[in-house]
Structure 1
């Protein structure tokens, strides 16, 4: 599950001799919106302008630069190589401009603006969802745009300000703040399943059981279950009648007696206490680093983003 951050290499786009005048920030914002959303209509909706207007803005920008930035079809919009290079250069420049404007805006009595957040689903349930009411009561003029997804993506290219992810998949050069304790995954099954098929006594016994597998978003192969013995971690490639893309569905199927599921202990402990599930192989299940709040290093930070980060830190400390 360890991830690496890959950056696109390429020659810079030289427009000094092609453009009769500099492109306005509004034109570049329109280009970035279309590139990120992959749609003229959605970009127009985000910017609050007509789709025909944003389409004309992009055509004018391409005409001034003398190069095509977007490939358009009736169903999709994709970046050309030049468009990809321009996006990589323009997005941080616009972010810097926004930060500069935000610094001026610090004269306001309360932070305001948009903060784009990306969370793993488990992290949202543990660390974001529970604080939303208190955060918006404290900062009513800040809007949070939250994407909840288990896919592992780079924050900056994805257009996010801050993320919540596992320590083992933190991006390089990110500021990381731990927001919770260690986690542990355990195997579980319903009492009915165990009565019918017996109880596995070691991870190798799982090969003789009906296991409910889970697939990481973007991966073609299901996740191998991880166990630990005497400080050494190892994987078990299980098999069974069901593969799901959402871990909660695996737990629901386990409660129905479909098979054995494997997920975060803290999410399943209430069901275990209710007697709907039975914990298995706990001696083989070790703890690992939990969730981190992460964001890119930056010289200037928008007040809204700073307020959100500080609020999360305070809540994590007080728990």
Structure 2
């Protein structure tokens, strides 16, 4: 038996992960599938949830998040793709309310915003200006924690929605949505894979972290 086979045999037990819904189609489903195929003696439990996770008490081995919220004795590594953003609206909405020309114009529009859980925290809208990246927080008319819902509301002419470009692309191409302020938008940081101290790290978590760092995700 080779050294690689020996290593695979040692990766056992259940790897428990927490992640936001958006991470699955972007990269995480492919990463988990690769991990499960590479380490057949290990099981995986993946729970999609946008809430902050206490890695000390939750029983979760690692949390994947689009915004890093680190607790004490916690590490994070960047994983997944760059997160390009887009602001979209229906043609009818823009005809009625006008097309925003500058980032500050969004403050005069109906905003369809993404919410992190039930705590009332809304995702800020990120832009690039002469002095670098900055964010704005428009007053939301509609709030949801699923970007598919945000796109649905935008398609019905209810306002501007700030969403991932990859998710919005089919709707912009085929379903009447229009993107605005493209040249002013900044990309978000990559997702982060958050886990507790390297001390006493299980072999399955170490194997998953190493695979995530490789970044070899097939789309």
Question: TM-score interval w.r.t. the shorter chain?
Answer: 0.7 to 0.9
Does the 8 Å CA contact 2:11/2:204 hold for their aligned counterparts? yes
State the partner residue of 1:126: 26
SS in 2 for 1:266: helix
State the partner residue of 2:98: 198
The one of 123, 146, 156 aligned to 1:256: 156
Q: Map Cα deviations across residues 17-73 of structure 1 (whole Å, 9 max, x no partner).
A: xxxxxxxxxxxxxxxxxxxxxxxxxxxxxxxxxxxxxxxxxxxxxxxxxxxxxxxxx
TM-superposed deviation, 1:318: 5.6
Q: Map Cα deviations across residues 64-94 of structure 1 (whole Å, 9 max, x no partner).
A: xxxxxxxxxxxxxxxxxxxxxxxxxxxxxxx
The one of 130, 136, 159 aligned to 1:235: 136
State the partner residue of 1:175: 75
Measured in 2, the distance between the counterparts of 1:318 and 1:184 equals 17
State the partner residue of 2:45: 145
Over 6 Å off, 4+ runs: none
Measured in 2, the distance between the counterparts of 1:224 and 1:302 equals 36
Measured in 2, the distance between the counterparts of 1:268 and 1:175 equals 32
SS in 1 for 2:57: helix
Structure number with the bigger relative contact order (C-alpha 8 A, sep ≥ 6) is 2
- TM-score (ref. length: structure 1): 0.58
Q: Map Cα deviations across residues 212-233 of structure 1 (whole Å, 9 max, x no partner).
A: 2332213235444333312041
Measured in 2, the distance between the counterparts of 1:299 and 1:243 equals 40
Closer, same or farther in 2 for the Cα pair 1:218/1:260, shift >3 Å? Answer: same
Structure 1 stretches lacking a partner, 5+ long: 1-105
The one of 46, 58, 79 aligned to 1:158: 58
Does the 8 Å CA contact 1:168/1:289 hold for their aligned counterparts? no
Q: Does 1:246 align with 2:142?
A: no
Does the 8 Å CA contact 2:9/2:39 hold for their aligned counterparts? no
TM-superposed deviation, 1:169: 2.8
State the partner residue of 2:120: 220
Q: Which has the higher strand share?
A: 2
SS in 1 for 2:199: coil
Q: Does 1:187 align with 2:84?
A: no
CA RMSD after TM alignment: 2.6
Does the 8 Å CA contact 2:53/2:63 hold for their aligned counterparts? no
TM-superposed deviation, 1:161: 0.7
Does the 8 Å CA contact 1:224/1:238 hold for their aligned counterparts? no
Does the 8 Å CA contact 1:117/1:162 hold for their aligned counterparts? yes
- TM-score (ref. length: structure 2): 0.81
Q: Which has the higher helix share?
A: 1
Measured in 2, the distance between the counterparts of 1:309 and 1:252 equals 35
